[in-house]
Structure 1
Amino acid sequence: MAVVLDLLNNDRRPAAVRPRHPEKARRPDTPVQRKPDWIRVKAPGSPAYAETSRIVRQHGLVTVCEEAGCPNIGECWEKRHATFMIMGDTCTRACAFCNVRTGLPGPLDADEPQRVAESVAKLGLHHVVVTSVDRDDLKDGGAEHFARTIRAIREASPGTTVEILTPDFLRKDGALEVVVAARPDVFNHNLETVPGKYLTVRPGARYFHSLRLLQRVKELDPTIFTKSGIMVGLGEERNEVVQLMDDLRSADVDFLTIGQYLQPTKKHHEVVRFVPPEEFKGFETTAYARGFLLVSATPLTRSSHHAGEDFSRLRAARLARLAKEPAGV
């Protein structure tokens, strides 16, 4: 990371003309493979898509839909569902799979929580997902900013349920407690990949720290739904994915998402394999057998894809499970 920051400190060009991924400049090129027939998405361009884009621009907000190059942006924005990315568009980490810019972020925008809340109200969202870049430069990793955003949304749209997708708050004592105290409806933190791939895929993170983070959420507030997701196609073995499922259930995680990794550029981690749909169906069956309340496993599954519908299903699954428990349990 020190090399990354030095590169950026020495680059005085405006952000708009700097290389998007200077930290990946020395990585060998890996050709971006042609996607198989089962990975096809609708091109964006409907009037509803344009209206969603207008509201996002009007409020000066960043979305992970755009920054991460999500393949589902056309479908989601047509439904006026945008996933807001707070605390800027520049991340302090350099994960090999991610298309978000890496570097030295600017100061936090104190007005951003209110602008997010206003956008949620204008879009008429019943369920909203808020994520962020990693902010290792901040004392609390951005925890209070998350909490302020949750509270602002609740004030502007009391009927809207709030899902957050957070960084790991590594070495930020007390940060998780601040976020949980704001009581999001869903707390999502993605493991991203199996532990054996962390060194090359997610080098700035720690697998067991992320697991403990999810477990701690349940200890602090058992009513909050917890959620995590991974990508496949990075060279992992099936038995590693199954072990990860067991690890998440040991941490009492409710909801698991599994999607196909898609390589953003030739400087990112290669796609080792395009996993066929029938294997995703197998992952879904195995995950439900492990005890998850909800599982979404398809090639185009992403953390916030169909999040509103999934939240309704998640609540229904919890109620159904509680109804089956013996009295007094």
Structure 2
Amino acid sequence: MAPSRDFYETLGVPRDVSAEELQRAYRKLARTYHPDINKDPGAEERFKDVSEAYDVLSDPDQRRRYDAFGPDFRQVPPDTDPQAWARARAAAGSSGARRGRGGPRRGGGAAAEDVWFQSGGAQDIDLEDLLGGLFGGRRGDGWGPVAGADQEAELELSVEEAYSGVRRGVTLSGPGGTRTLEVTIPAGVTDGQRIRLAGQGGRGSDGAAPGDLYLRIRLAPHPRYRVDGRDISVNLPLAPWEAALGTSVAVDTPGGEAKVKVPAGTSSGRRLRLAGRGLPNPRGRNGDLYAVAQIVVPPELGDEERRLFEQLAATSTFNPRRQP
């Protein structure tokens, strides 16, 4: 039997890797080995290995189980004590591959391989009794039905898609191959939010229920909007006279055009709030949109414009460098 792959080695990261470093390593490898980019015969298999490793290690619960139980983590029943499991596995390894009492017998350990034992000596260990007691008296050839593992994938959306909601096709790659799901993303999702798709995770064994799929939302950088939680900021260019005298101007928002009132005496950097015009919130108050004033001067002045600016400069006592 081929040795089990170590997920950390597959991704080329240390065991204490942070979630951010894990994601960077996965993205780099996924771009390198994605079958649509890399036509090498072994690239698709490598991509599947990388995707499986990331699916497990990016999920905190699965990562804890993997760290505790190694490649057998999917077969180990819930609430199993890791130290007792390690002692049982060590005992299984020390007994060696030996025959006794009528030939081979399988204990309650990993379903992927037979465990042999021999009776009759003072130091011999009955692995069936040992492992059966550890896991609640299981007997027989396998572990019985094992629920499928939960999985996680990342879905990148534009700010407009997050605002309005969207229906998207999501392509997933894993040990079972590639599959595409049509997913409805509700309006108002935020960066980092997880959407649960029940029963769309890993397949269970022996008729057990499949796991769930979690889609983690990432908002793509936008050329105009900046998002903080549900609040959105957008730059608002103003002419010097608009900022000085006050005005009402149109501003683009993800939900369409809106009017913003600019008070007289507005300086660059002032944030003008449009309540409720940020990302919608299905369960509470919508986010706000902030129009950030940016005073822009004409790149070139006509003769009359220059004369008026010179007249203003000679008349005004305002000094922007004077401390208030």
Q: Normalising by the residue count of structure 2, what TM-score does the alignment of the two structures yield?
A: 0.22
Between structures 1 and 2, the one with greater strand share: 2
> Structure 1-normalised TM-score?
0.22
Higher relative contact order (CA 8 A, sep 6+): 1
Larger Rg: 2
